Structure 1
Amino acid sequence: MDLTLDYYLPVIWAVIIASAVGLYVILDGFDLGIGILFPFARKEEDRDLMMNSVAPFWDGNETWLILGGGGLWVAFPLAYSIVMPALYLPVIVMLLALIFRGVSFEFRWVAKPKHRHWDIAFAAGSTVAAFCQGLILGGLIQGIEVQDRQYVGGSWDFLTPFSVLCGVGLVAGYALLGATWLRGRVEGPVADRAAHLAKRAMLAVLAFIAAVSIWTPLAFEPIADRWFSTPNIYFLWPVPVLTALLGLGLWVGLHRPAGYSPFFFSIGLFLLSYLGLAISTFPLLVPPSVTIWEAAAVPASQIFSLIGVTFMLPIVLGYTVFVYWTFRGKVRPGEGYH
């Protein structure tokens, strides 16, 4: 029985944390994308409409980041103790950027008409937070140096050309999510402008996906073995094919009347990229050496925390669905929630 718990509890917690991170990337990604696109809005009324499109959702979307980080600390304390020292700088900068972004979101409305500095803070906070999340992702993929269950690298080891590529790529990805969200959510010139920006962002995202897909197997031999060894290659070849098909569907959707189909195609690109990451690294939680079972807390601690998650997760999911359903529909120029 103990062996069963030791094996399955880390898997359950890995699925919970991976789901929370995935939901955060999708849900908070599109409202971070709104901030990234803020400098491209030509009029104040356009920026007002962009912010109003996410006003009911943005703070609730960040709930999933808390579950992901808190779950890592509770269920995988060894991984937490390694990852945080290795990625401390981008994590702290990301959190500060999210704070600036949140404050500017609220203060922008009460500071009118003298709110230009809050516009800058909103755009900068969104962009820096997205870039830092990409740095964190790149730092994990390229591996963290561990000896005797401790991080032994330097404070700046995360900063490499590969992690910078991931950072810029995630900024482009969030911009794509934000632009396709606006395409379906708002009406008027902002929706038309969003379609134009989405086309550019899509091309950039596909280029970054291709670059990372080529770079990782060339630079990291375990990832190359995972993807190109037999019989794995026979099962994994549909992933890049589906990515290309989703890109095609997204491009076609952007040339059709405004709707949410491009947004869902964009989500599909993110989910496939996320699946590719899981294929490349699982069961490693801290590449290249620490698995989910090695990093896991004792079963009693995992069970205790899992009981709380079992009760709270349906509540959070239900609240999220309720909010999105309540504020469904288009946001038109001149309308808003402030």
Structure 2
Amino acid sequence: MGIDLALVWAVIILFGILMYVIMDGFDLGIGILFPFFKEEHDRNVMMNTVAPVWDGNETWLVLGGAGLLAAFPLAYAVILHAFMLPLIFMLLGLIFRGVAFEFRFKAHETGRHWWDKAFIFGSVCATFFQGVTLGGFIQGIPVVDGNYTGGTLGWLTPFSVFTGLGLLVAYGLLGSTWLVLKTHGELHDRMRSLARPLTWTLLGVIVIISIWTPLTHPDIAQRWFSLPNLFWFAPVPILVALTAWYLLRCLGREPHGGPFILTLVLIFLGYSGLGISVWPNIIPPDISIWQASGPPQSQGFTLVGALLIIPMILGYTGWSYYVFRGKVSVDDGYH
């Protein structure tokens, strides 16, 4: 029995996207939270918590895109065609965020506020259009004979806009709980207070999307609510409720790492729910990973490289986070 290369590559791409959402999500979240903190020393600490690691986090986005091209060229072509504009806006946001990140530390105090604004704009823009792309993807992509048949603005719908706003909340919660982990004193306490309403808001977003999606997509409703699927998938919403409850309880104490870990669990459960809704279609609503699969020779050749590179990425990522572990303060840096 041979290896199902399409399935292996689907798992790799899903893993890469999840790692990107988790690891780039909290530093984008810091940019989203910037407008709530006006003091220069607070903003310096917030940026210093991710300064050593932020650019490496985007490696996972490159892995996901390159893997899609190598393993599922049809999906790569259709998805890029369908979401060309939001992906361009997302990349522009990432460019603004990256340039602002580097130049802010070198700017004079009189001009630093411009780079702060660019950092906020880049973070919000990149996050919002990631969410819009996700929403458009869940809604489905019209394809005839392997070609995208929708319009230039086919991705722009009330649902996709809502998912864009929802992702802002999710990344904001990731950023706040990351700063609960990495800071102390007044900034730590303010982040803990901010994380509580963000948790409630994200829980509301999850509930709305969980209702909206099956109401507008009968095939997704059939998948979730038919028997025996209902019994298999019921743990996902139950675990979401339990995780959110424990996160709120943890924030009411003297938390450090707990809220961030619980937020990661909440993000993973939401990601799993979306995966259940569309699997195994890589171009919703009806083109599966096997239908969009590239030649086995190409998948096998690139898989060798992926299996060599992914452990290296995990290794240097883990090492960098280990080296820069601990709290960050204005005067002392890491300690």
**Structure 2 residue 198 is matched with structure 1 residue 218:** no
TM-score (norm 1): 0.97
2:320 to 323, 327, 330: 323
SS in 2 for 1:54: coil
SS in 2 for 1:268: helix
**Structure 2 residue 38 is matched with structure 1 residue 38:** no
In structure 1, the residue matched to 2:252 is 255
Partner deviation per Cα, 1:247-301 (whole Å, 9 max, x = no partner): 0111011111130100111111110011111111111001012110011110000
**Structure 2 residue 87 is matched with structure 1 residue 91:** yes
In the TM superposition, residue 335 of structure 1 has moved relative to its aligned partner by 3.3
SS in 2 for 1:230: coil
In structure 2, the residue matched to 1:159 is 156
Looking at structure 2, the residues matched to 158 and 318 of structure 1 have their Cα atoms a distance apart, in angstroms, of 37
Looking at structure 2, the residues matched to 245 and 38 of structure 1 have their Cα atoms a distance apart, in angstroms, of 30
SS in 2 for 1:295: coil
**Structure 2 residue 10 is matched with structure 1 residue 14:** yes
* 1:146–1:289 CA contact under 8 A, matched in 2: no
SS in 2 for 1:294: coil
In structure 2, the residue matched to 1:143 is 140
In the TM superposition, residue 197 of structure 1 has moved relative to its aligned partner by 1.2
Looking at structure 2, the residues matched to 115 and 248 of structure 1 have their Cα atoms a distance apart, in angstroms, of 40
Which has the larger displacement, 9-18 or 197-206?
Answer: 197-206
In structure 1, the residue matched to 2:225 is 228
TM-score (norm 2): 0.98
1:110 to 106, 112, 124: 106
| Identity among equivalent pairs (%) | 51
SS in 1 for 2:282: strand
Counterpart amino acid of residue 319 in structure 1: Y
Which has the larger displacement, 157-166 or 254-263?
Answer: 254-263
Q: How does 1:1-338 map to 2 (within 5 A)?
A: 4-5=2-3, 8-113=4-109, 114-336=111-333
In the TM superposition, residue 57 of structure 1 has moved relative to its aligned partner by 1.0
Looking at structure 2, the residues matched to 193 and 224 of structure 1 have their Cα atoms a distance apart, in angstroms, of 40
Counterpart amino acid of residue 45 in structure 2: L
Looking at structure 2, the residues matched to 18 and 304 of structure 1 have their Cα atoms a distance apart, in angstroms, of 19
C-alpha RMSD over aligned residues = 1.0
* 1:108–1:119 CA contact under 8 A, matched in 2: yes
Partner deviation per Cα, 1:90-123 (whole Å, 9 max, x = no partner): 0000001000100000000000312100000001
Gaps of 5+ in 2: none
Counterpart amino acid of residue 166 in structure 2: G
Partner deviation per Cα, 1:215-255 (whole Å, 9 max, x = no partner): 00000011000000011001111111100000011101111
SS in 1 for 2:290: helix
Looking at structure 2, the residues matched to 189 and 292 of structure 1 have their Cα atoms a distance apart, in angstroms, of 49
Partner deviation per Cα, 1:128-182 (whole Å, 9 max, x = no partner): 1000000010010000000011101001010000001100000000000000000
In the TM superposition, residue 42 of structure 1 has moved relative to its aligned partner by 2.8
Looking at structure 2, the residues matched to 74 and 92 of structure 1 have their Cα atoms a distance apart, in angstroms, of 21
SS in 2 for 1:285: strand
SS in 1 for 2:263: helix
